[in-house]
Structure 1
Amino acid sequence: MTTPAESTGTPGHQPETGLRADAERNRERILAAARRLYAAQGLCVSMAAVAREADVGKATLSRRFATREDLVTAVFADRMDGYAAAVTEALADPDAWHGFTGYIQAVCAMQAADRGFADVLTMTFPAAKALEARRAGAYEGFLRLIDRAKDTGHLRADFVPEDLVILLMANAGVVAATGDDAPDAWRRLVGHMLRSYATPGAPLPPPAGAPAPTALYRAMVRLSRTGGDVS
């Protein structure tokens, strides 16, 4: 016959199902904290800062995510899926030039929405194989997108894949520098870059308006106070 003590288990001992539930809750708290910090500050955030934001110990964080690359992969897996899906959608566009310009705008919008993802797109994580596999797949799709856009005669013949990397680096800098002061400044940059990629007479999206001078001034003041550090 089972006694009450036997049915409830050893005093102070948490059943395995409870331990699993606690572990999952901690994992979700860590991911939510990392998403908030990365989105606001970029990938410069330390693992210790993530642990504090999640209100867990460093040991708990390291059990869930042994390395920074593990945490970054978990946080940005869905965004990298979206990045890859943007290429697929662009390749499916019957108007190859429209697909190309739409893809450039979509990827830069992803950067603008999340500073952490802006960093992810301009950095490599050799140890994060799943993340890098998604990036490689998106890159292969972009190569096909370039060829299709050039076949329309609207994309300059001297455009190379590295031009996208340069744009993403520049856009990440603009997003970080302007912040909440001029959050749409990146659209102006992307518009100018699309014009530089296009052949004369190529159809282009309407240009975005320039940020208000006062907004850019506030961004410049903020940068001067931080010594130009946008991290």
Structure 2
Amino acid sequence: MTAPVVHELRSDARDNQERILEVARAAFASEGFDVPIREIARRAQVGVATVYRRFPTKEALLAAAFAERMAACLTIVEEGLAAADPWQGFRLVIERLMEVHALDRGFARALTSKFPRVFDFAEGRGRALRGLAELLSRAKEAGGIRKDVVLEDVVLALMANEGIRADSPQARVAASRRFAALMIQSFRADPAPVPLPSPVRPSLPISQ
């Protein structure tokens, strides 16, 4: 087999893999994790065997689909831990994690779901939670966060953020920023009022 042909085959394989991952991310975000592999293959215009050859289980597909998002979240938590002021580090982490989740609802669902059992994803999620717990403890000790706040409260806020619905990704991010500001304010030991970001009308109308 000539080198150009081998290169073309490898390029096709890469294109197929990227298309599978793109379709999987969109499907998981809009329909949850019950979307069959066969349906993902159909939308990606590849055979089912092609999907399984690259991702032997749905868990493996999920981990690969959200690997970059997971790495970004771990980096955010590490930057928060490196901040000189634990409270400011905590605030930065909440703001940025909620923004990441607002931009990718599939990833937000994956983080708060019991579905992902593949080691790489579960281990990354565990590292992020341990880092967040450490940052929360430091901020408490420094007097920035009220003493009765626990990690589960932070996770609950992240889960609530996943439920934001808006007409565009930009609107979701804007709504997420306001929600993050509200949550951060509620966690503060000294909740002096601070200006909130501009409100965003949700996609579902509020009853009058």
Larger radius of gyration: 1
Pick aligned residue for 1:210 from 166, 178, 199:
199
CA–CA separation in structure 1 for the residues paired with 2:85 and 2:26: 37
Q: Does 1:65 align with 2:65?
A: no
One-letter amino acid of the counterpart of residue 219, structure 1: L
Contact 1:121 1:168 in 2 (8 A): no
Give CA deviations for 1:29-65 in whole Å, capped at 9, x if unaligned.
2123223444555545442332122111222222221
Q: Which secondary structure does the structure 1 equivalent of 2:66 belong to?
A: helix
1:103-182 to structure 2, matched below 5 A, reads 103-125=93-115, 127-174=117-164, 177-180=165-168, 182=171
Q: 2:93 and 2:113 mapped to 1: Cα distance?
A: 20
Deviation string for 1:163-198 (max 9, x for gaps)?
Answer: 111111111112xx3342942222222221111111
Shift of 1:208: 1.5
Q: Deviations over 1:70-110 (max 9, x none)?
A: 11101111111111111110011101110001101111001
Q: What is the correspondence of 1:187-202 to structure 2 with a 5 Å cutoff?
A: 187-201=177-191
* 1:209 alignment partner AA: S
Q: Which moved more, 1:27-36 or 1:146-155?
A: 27-36
Asked if the contact 1:42/1:119 (under 8 Å) is kept, the reply is yes
* Aligned mates of 1:50, 1:23 — CA distance in 2: 16
Partner deviation per Cα, 1:11-42 (whole Å, 9 max, x = no partner): xxxx8776655444322221232234445555
Name the CA distance, whole Å, in 2 between partners of 1:62 and 1:32. Answer: 16
SS of residue in 1 equivalent to 2:205: helix
TM-score (norm 1): 0.76
Distance change >3 Å, CA 44–CA 208, structure 1 → 2: farther
> Compared with structure 1, are the counterparts of its residues 36 and 143 closer, same or farther at alpha carbon in structure 2 (3 Å cutoff)?
same
Identify unmatched segments of 5+ residues in structure 2. Answer: none
Aligned to 1:219: 204
Q: Distance in 1 between matches of 2:137 and 2:32?
A: 33
The aligned amino acid for 1:208 is: P
Q: How far apart, CA to CA, are the structure 2 residues paired with 1:25 and 1:208?
A: 40
TM-score normalised over the length of structure 2 = 0.84
Query: Using the alignment, how far apart are the partners of 1:111 and 1:141 within structure 2?
Result: 18
Cα 1:118–1:179 shift into 2, 3 Å: farther
Contact 1:40 1:114 in 2 (8 A): no
2:100 is matched by which residue type in structure 1?
M
Q: Return the match for 1:27 from 17, 25, 32.
A: 17
User: What SS does the corresponding residue of 2:149 show, helix, strand or coil?
Assistant: coil
RMSD over equivalenced CA pairs, Å: 2.7
Runs (5+) with no aligned partner, structure 1: 1-6, 9-14, 222-231
